[in-house]
């Protein structure tokens, strides 16, 4: 046991983190079994042991930031990761049958739950914090940015792949008089999105992106590409190309990684986003080659740090209401998810990209908008 502790201390010291130290990013250990569990199970053991109350940290976001800046994940590689690599290599984790799992496990937690966590429009993607003072403003600025980037005009028909609770569809229909088709694999989202967009030229469908077959003036996808999987990136882009009219624009809003991966973090895979994966520049560029012209690539990853911290503040402040529905272990799981991810963006390990892709012969040059 002492050797496990010494090894753990040695690894954490590389990130400036101490066991039972005085700084807010130091961990306070309540169960000595933690060390063996983390060394044998890696990030899965670290996250599960936090859920189990084996350790605490005043600033999980800074703990995560320091771990990622020091690339600790490359120094702890448990044998169990071989299983995750083989599973990703031998199976299509995001095929049509499995694609709905993330909807059932994550997005169907309950509309009331997400209403407590998100902004007033219920936008579950990164906000745009330039000139924004709060979460509501950041999300509204993001929706406006998307509309401006795709040159939205009255009467245009838009496809929203992964439409969530209909926030973009409602905004585009009300402010720009657009017609919107929104698709999602979450039944809870379909129900509320239809209610939110009632009376507007908006159609919300429970539908896999692979089943869409009609023409649109513009296509947008905000925070859905992370559920597509590397084996399906090309097929996804082919669907977008097939459904986009000549001369049209496609805006892809996605979390991005600095390296090409085939597996997601095991803890996130098990508890938060099953069958998900963060794409790299190389993986996206390979997928679009020969299909689209890349017009613009905008990175505002640090804004996701602010967004996640705002979501956590909402969850934490509303916990007296939420604990009637969720237990303490869920609270620790969700807190860990939001704050650990905030640290990923703060360390610049993860990015947030908005990519504009064009199809066909566009006579005018695209003007980048920020």
Given the residues 57, 163, 341, 344, the one annotated as active site: 341
Which range is least confidently modeled, 70-79, 143-152, 196-205? Answer: 70-79
Which of the pair, 81 or 71, is modelled with greater confidence?
71
Which of the pair, 20 or 74, is modelled with greater confidence?
20
Nearest to 62 by CA among 306, 257, 339, 268: 339
Convert the pLDDT of each residue in 271-315 to its tens digit: 998 888 999 999 999 999 999 999 999 999 999 999 999 999 999
Looking at residue 9, its pLDDT comes to 95
Looking at residue 73, its pLDDT comes to 84
Q: What is the mean pLDDT of residues 321-342?
A: 95
Looking at residue 79, its pLDDT comes to 54
Looking at residue 274, its pLDDT comes to 87
pLDDT band at 108 (very low <50, low <70, confident <90, very high): confident
pTM: 0.93
pLDDT band at 360 (very low <50, low <70, confident <90, very high): confident
Convert the pLDDT of each residue in 185-241 to its tens digit: 999 999 999 999 999 999 999 999 999 999 999 999 999 999 999 999 999 999 999
Q: Is the pLDDT score of 252 beyond 80? A: yes
Looking at residue 185, its pLDDT comes to 92
- Cα distance between residue 221 and residue 163, in whole Å: 8
Looking at residue 15, its pLDDT comes to 97
Q: Please confirm, yes or no, whether 341 is among the known catalytic residues.
A: yes
pLDDT band at 83 (very low <50, low <70, confident <90, very high): low
Percent above pLDDT 90 for the chain: 84
Q: Is the pLDDT score of 17 beyond 70? A: yes
Which of the pair, 1 or 327, is modelled with greater confidence?
327
pLDDT band at 94 (very low <50, low <70, confident <90, very high): low
Looking at residue 362, its pLDDT comes to 82
pLDDT band at 253 (very low <50, low <70, confident <90, very high): very high
pLDDT winner (highest mean) among 88-92, 312-316, 323-327, 359-363? 312-316
Q: Is the pLDDT score of 46 beyond 90? A: yes
Q: What is the mean pLDDT of the chain?
A: 93
Which range is least confidently modeled, 31-40, 213-222, 301-310, 357-366? Answer: 357-366
Q: Are the C-beta atoms of residues 156 and 217 closer than 8 Å to each other?
A: yes
Looking at residue 137, its pLDDT comes to 98
Sketch out the chain's domains with CATH numbers: 2-79 (no CATH), 96-358 (3.40.50.150)
Which range is least confidently modeled, 36-45, 105-114, 223-232, 238-247? Answer: 105-114
Looking at residue 263, its pLDDT comes to 83
């Amino acid at each position: 046991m002492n050797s496990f502790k010494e090894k753990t201390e040695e690894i954490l010291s590389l990130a400036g983190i101490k066991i039972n130290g005085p700084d807010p990013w130091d961990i306070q250990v309540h169960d000595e079994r933690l060390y063996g569990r983390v060394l044998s199970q890696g990030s899965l053991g670290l996250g599960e042991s936090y859920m189990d109350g084996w350790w605490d940290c005043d600033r999980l976001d800074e703990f995560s930031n320091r771990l990622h800046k020091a690339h600790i994940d490359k120094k702890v590689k448990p044998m169990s990761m071989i299983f995750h690599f083989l599973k990703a290599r031998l199976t299509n984790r995001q095929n049509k049958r499995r694609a709905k799992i993330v909807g059932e496990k994550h997005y169907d937690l309950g509309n009331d739950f997400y209403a407590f966590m998100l902004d007033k429009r219920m936008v579950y993607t990164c906000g745009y914090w330039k000139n924004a003072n709060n979460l509501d403003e950041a999300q509204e600025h993001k929706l406006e940015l998307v509309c401006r980037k795709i040159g939205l005009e009255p009467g245009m028909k838009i496809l929203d792949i992964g439409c969530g609770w209909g926030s973009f569809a409602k905004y585009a229909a009300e402010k720009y008089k657009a017609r919107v088709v929104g698709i999602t694999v979450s039944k809870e989202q379909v129900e509320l999105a239809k209610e939110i967009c009632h009376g507007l030229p908006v159609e919300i469908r429970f539908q896999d992106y692979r089943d869409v077959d009609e023409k649109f003036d513009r296509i947008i996808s905000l925070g859905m590409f992370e559920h597509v999987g590397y084996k399906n990136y090309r097929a996804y882009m082919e669907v977008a190309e097939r459904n986009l009219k000549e001369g049209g624009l496609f805006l892809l809003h996605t979390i991005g990684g600095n390296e090409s991966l085939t597996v997601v973090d095991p803890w996130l895979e098990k508890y938060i986003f099953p069958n998900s994966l963060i794409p790299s520049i190389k993986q996206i560029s390979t997928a679009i080659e020969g299909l689209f012209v890349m017009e613009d690539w905008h990175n505002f990853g640090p804004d996701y740090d602010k967004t996640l911290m705002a979501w956590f503040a909402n969850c934490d402040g509303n916990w007296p209401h939420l604990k009637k529905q969720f237990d303490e272990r869920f609270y620790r799981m969700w807190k860990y998810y939001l704050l650990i991810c905030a640290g990923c963006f703060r360390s610049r390990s993860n990015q947030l990209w908005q990519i504009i892709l064009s199809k066909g012969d566009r006579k005018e040059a695209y003007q980048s908008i920020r």
